[in-house]
Amino acid sequence: MDDYTDEYMDGLRLKGDPLADATVDALFTGGEVGRFNTLMRWFTTSGQALPEGLPDAARDYLEATTTPPDWVDWGVMEQARQFFIDNNVHISTALSFAAMPACYVIPHVSRLLSATHSLDYPARRMAETGQFTVYLMQPGAFEAGGRFLPAAQKVRLLHASIRRHLRQEGRWPEPVPICQEDMLGGLMMFSLQVLDALHRMGVHITPQGAEAYYYAWRVVGVILGCDPETIPADLQAARHFSDQYMTRHMGPSPEGAHLTRQLIEMYEQVVPGTLLDPVVPALIRYLIGDTPADWLEVPRSRWDSVIKIGPALLGALERFEDRGPWAAQLSDRLGHLVTMLELSSLTRGRVMHYAIPQELRADFGVPAPTARWTPPPPSHKAR
């Protein structure tokens, strides 16, 4: 299935996540959200016994979602983990400066982020997304002791609670906020569009690496409540879906421009000094292109043309890595250090808890060299 017509996509806009939505409704109806959050704060690893005194609805949900889908090929997941380790800095960069702006270029997604007040806390949302990805890529992430599944179980309920709040308060113009089309669209940004960005940065990717990385995100999509039948099966289908989703919705919005400014300012604070400040806008502009960058009001600077040499420098670095294991190890160590610094400066050492918000308060965020892979060309099936 890769014929993503407008009618098909419109159908996905009417669907939420029935299992998580029903759980959250039951928790709110029974007045049990506070108790649930308190008990779940200490539930962080797979295999841990569920806390005593959990509301029934929560217990049923947690038991139903405690294991990954049974069709998962763990060999491919291990390839994906290796791919992530080999490219950790590049993937973090692509997530921050290509995938996040891609979210912001969809006006209703930007409006959702601002409606949930996480607009003013981009660092928190980046930290939650970042920590989520780190949990995912730990060895044994899905086994007893892994932190990924409990985090995903909480994020899914967090999304369901936002659906409920926006619907109840009549603050959403459509029937379903965070609908299946948007969840799949988000999945495309973190998977295929990250690969697009890696390609543009000049990072060498093998076809197996690209497919494995996409496969891992398909598994994540199912765990986060996407309907398995609707997740594009491979990168080619993903190209069709992603292009169709983007061209259906992309455009300028004040909220998108505001979020982008917050993102840029956040990185200016993380990087010491002011000399390198224009690099971040230049990188965003290079990765997403001038038209979307103008929509998001990304400032222009003289760095815009300098940054284009970046891929050549990265190529030189990769050739350096090929000189031997010591060089690769040195480069890996540096990469690991940079990723950890990036993440810890965002989380400031805190652990993200993904609690269900009792109401839409200001203090919560939506998580929201031989064979070389090249992204599939633009989809002709997009309008």
**Alpha-carbon distances of 252 from 55, 208, 298, rounded to whole Å:** 43, 36, 12
Residue 107 touches another protein, criterion: CB under 8 A: no
Nearer to another protein, 103 or 141 (CB): 103
b (16+ CB within 10 A) / e for 322-333: eeeeeeeeebbe
Residue 373 touches another protein, criterion: CB under 8 A: no
Shortest Å, Cβ 51 to another protein: 44
Residue 337 touches another protein, criterion: CB under 8 A: no
Q: Which residue intervals of 169-253 are DSSP H helices?
A: 180-190, 192-200, 207-223, 235-249
Q: How many residues bind another protein (CB under 8 A)?
A: 29
The helix or strand, by DSSP H or E, that contains position 319, with its residue range, turns out to be helix 310-321
Per CB under 8 A, the list member of 134, 188, 246, 356 interacting with another protein is: 246
Residue 291 touches another protein, criterion: CB under 8 A: yes
Two structure tokens written together for 160: 């369901």
Per CB under 8 A, the list member of 34, 69, 140, 289 interacting with another protein is: 289
What is the chain's alpha carbon radius of gyration, rounded to the nearest angstrom?
A: 20
Residue 383 touches another protein, criterion: CB under 8 A: yes
The whole-angstrom separation of Cα 211 and Cα 234 is 7
Per CB under 8 A, the list member of 196, 211, 277, 342 interacting with another protein is: 196
Nearer to another protein, 361 or 383 (CB): 383
Nearer to another protein, 225 or 256 (CB): 256
Per CB under 8 A, the list member of 305, 320, 322, 333 interacting with another protein is: 305
b (16+ CB within 10 A) / e for 186-217: bbbbbbbbbbbbbbbbbbbbbeebbbbbbbbb
Angle at CA 196, nearest 5°, toward 221 and 234? 45
DSSP string, 134-160: HHHTSTTTTSTT-SHHHHHHHHHHHHH
Site map 131..170 versus another protein, x via CB under 8 A: ----------------------------------------
Residues near another protein (CB under 8 A) are 98, 102, 105, 193, 196, 200, 243, 246-247, 250-251, 286-292, 295, 305-306, 308-309, 311-312, 375, 378, 382-383
